[in-house]
Amino acid sequence: MRWRQALLAAPLAAVLLGLPAQGAGTLDPPAARAGAQPSSEGRGGAGRGPAGATENRLQLASQTSWVGPGEELVLRLGVATVKPPEEVELAVAVYRRVRNRTDFAQTLEGRLRDVPLTVTPPTLLSELATDAAGAVVVRLPVQDPAQPPDRTRLRLGEEGVYPVRVEVRNAGGGPAVAALVTHLVYTTPPKEGGFPLKVALVLPVHAPPALQPDGKRELSAQAADELAELVDAVRAYPLVPLNLLPTPETLDALETSAADANRETLAELAASTAGRQVVGGTYVPVDLRDIADSRLDTERSAQLDHGTRAIERTLGTRVDTRTWVAAEPLDEEAVLQLRQQQLDRFVIPEAAMEPVDVTVTLAQPFELDVSAVRRPQVLAADRGLSSHFARTDDPVLAAHRLLADLAVVYGDSPSRSRVVVAMAPRSWDPTKAFLDAVLAGISTSAIVAGSTLDAGFADVRPATAGTNTPLVRRLVPSVNAASLPAGAISRARGRLAGFSSIIEAANPLDDALEELVLVAQGAELRPAQRARYLSGMNATIDSQIGLIQVPPNRSITLTARTGEIPITILSRAPYPVHVQLEVDSEKLEFPKGAGREVNLTRRNTTERFSVRARTSGTFPLRLRLVSPDGTVVLGRSRFTVRSTAASGMGILLSAGAGAFLLAWWARHHARGRRNRRLVPV
């Protein structure tokens, strides 16, 4: 075995040595077909570093995605070493093909089974050719079985995924100082009657909330850069079907950004939606299990409605409102709530489903066991595929591991139509290097094809548990300690509804305030952050109410039984305001009513209330300015009314008393005169 390896390795080593330096874009057709990048841009493209580097590093700058008979695997490697290149050597070993996904997962951890098929003799780094970007170029040609045997080429017995270990070590041998494991995917087009594996890539367009509790939006520079990289890559491969899962709040942040680059990112994203599926969702990611509280019944529809409107407005495209991508945990109650919103297809992480006894990766829709009239259809988001989106310093290597993983799944059953979902978590850091490698690999593959979720549900026959028996699976029971402050959110929603009745429907302030309530429910927030958003909404409403003033306390004198009391309302609001003005007093009657709707369209608006005094004297008049629905009080005041007019009964009594006094005086005066005349002289 070792003799044959050495015999084969010698000619292969010659392939590794003496290569002419390659400039950008000069890779051979197989490498170009696989999307090999001509430059070492991005985090994964570091070239060979100079002697004196602070650490030994080995990264994959690019590689051939798929290798057919007679083609070659081209690796471009970024190497940085502490020692000079003449003191460091590089070796490459190709191992037997993996048998299944368990084998494949072990190779990702560096555990390679059996002995290598081929081990190239170690070559000094200083003797290896580099391209214009400084990347070390390694070529591994593959034998075409239809051609005469060539000792300089790898002989691969059958199609499959072959691990390739590349290591850097000190000259003369010893343990590796840097190493990586990638994969050679040896494949030919599907045979007649075969199907390429459909892969539904689900890419979140997401950033942490840019909306701040004070109503301002602040999209971080890092988030803006990552979104730009995502959009650049998606737009570069317009023919690859995929699925976009945008966070509506993130789209709003791009749209309202003061930076031209962010608005350009949004415009490019909108232009990239053609042929792609845009999946709707809540305005911000929320844990729907938290909204099971009866006090939050309206929040689910509010999140979905506001989110759909934001996506359609910013992207100008139709939103899929029947498919739910469960990036956050679900329980049966949450599923039933979504079914009430006409959602009947779900993408749920495999980890959230109870295990199913299958011998190969389940790559078909199935039914979800919930107490609904009609069970929803489900595609499981593959856990292994999602893991390749994890944060890494070598995104190109991660991308090619994703492609190799897809090739392993394809090899499970190449004669059947199947679909898998590769869903990136919202927490991933999208890089153009990663996406370029993945999308280029899919676009040039004979065994893997991009797919929308619609096509996956429509074109792939649902899984069965027996003859014509649908496969039905259950959700894993989950424990959720509700973290949403249901009472505070309910009160905030009530106050917002009252304030909304004051302003016109087209007033953007209404949406701005609602967005504070919606963001407060975000799954990414801590309790203290939620409270700040709700406080921010209340503070904004208070500041707007402060623009409207009722007259201060004052005194009014009525000199007649009836009259008018003028009430002037001051509005500094830059928009029309609709209010209800109410007056009340125990000693006054209001012939034309004690309340009326008032439209405040100018700075000063005066309303006159007709009054009738029931009595003379001094008494209070209370006035209150409220929202049309009566739930929000905008102002209160108290007038002191002094009535100097006498009533009819008072006048009659006074007249009677005066007549009595006058008669008494006249009689008394006459009696006095008579008495004086009768006095004896």
Same domain, 260 and 289: yes
- What was the pLDDT predicted at 666? 67
Sign of the dihedral through C-alpha 265, 445, 421, 430: negative
Q: Residue 514: which residues within 8 A CB-CB, separation 6 or more?
A: 302, 306, 496
Same domain, 512 and 566: no
Q: Residue 225: which residues within 8 A CB-CB, separation 6 or more?
A: none
Q: The domain spanning residue 637 has which CATH number?
A: 2.60.40.10
Question: What is the length of the chain?
Answer: 681
Asked, for residue 234, whether it belongs to a domain, the answer is yes
Asked, for residue 191, whether it belongs to a domain, the answer is no
Burial of 527 (0-12, 13-18, 19+ CB in 10 A): exposed
**Distance in angstroms (rounded) separating the CA atoms of residues 494 and 488:** 10
Asked, for residue 480, whether it belongs to a domain, the answer is no
Query: Which residue, 473, 504, 536, sits at the end of a domain?
Result: 473
Number of domain units in the chain: 5
Query: Which residue, 445, 473, 501, sits at the end of a domain?
Result: 473
Same domain, 89 and 174: yes
- What was the pLDDT predicted at 120? 85
Same domain, 158 and 89: yes
pLDDT of 278-329, one tens digit each?
999 999 999 988 887 778 889 999 999 999 999 999 999 999 999 999 988 8
Asked, for residue 134, whether it belongs to a domain, the answer is yes
Same domain, 631 and 665: no
Q: The domain spanning residue 142 has which CATH number?
A: 2.60.40.1930
CB atoms within 10 A of CB 353: 18
- What was the pLDDT predicted at 190? 77
**Distance in angstroms (rounded) separating the CA atoms of residues 435 and 204:** 13
Tokens of 393: 């310093």
Same domain, 557 and 467: no
Q: Are 166 and 92 in contact (CB under 8 A)?
A: yes
- What was the pLDDT predicted at 415? 85
Amino acid (1-letter code) at residue 405: D
Same domain, 166 and 50: yes
Same domain, 508 and 576: no
* Domain encompassing residue 571: 548-645
**Distance in angstroms (rounded) separating the CA atoms of residues 646 and 522:** 66
Listed in sequence order, the DSSP H helices in 475-607 are 486-500, 508-519, 527-545
Asked, for residue 478, whether it belongs to a domain, the answer is no
Tokens of 548: 């409207």
Q: At what angle do helices 527-545 and 486-500 cross, to 10 degrees?
A: 20
- What was the pLDDT predicted at 525? 94
Same domain, 144 and 205: no
Q: Do the strands 118-119 and 88-94 form a parallel or antiparallel pair, or are they unpaired? A: antiparallel
Query: Which residue, 154, 186, 218, sits at the end of a domain?
Result: 186
Point out the residues of the chain with pLDDT beneath 50: 1-11, 14, 17-48, 651, 681
Tokens of 499: 């304030």
- What was the pLDDT predicted at 673? 59
- What was the pLDDT predicted at 265? 98
**Distance in angstroms (rounded) separating the CA atoms of residues 94 and 138:** 13
Same domain, 74 and 130: yes
Asked, for residue 481, whether it belongs to a domain, the answer is no
Same domain, 227 and 331: yes
Same domain, 515 and 574: no
Tokens of 175: 């343990």
Asked, for residue 554, whether it belongs to a domain, the answer is yes
Q: Do the strands 554-558 and 472-473 form a parallel or antiparallel pair, or are they unpaired? A: unpaired
Asked, for residue 57, whether it belongs to a domain, the answer is yes
Reported as type and span, the H/E element at residue 271 is: helix 260-271
**Distance in angstroms (rounded) separating the CA atoms of residues 426 and 270:** 20
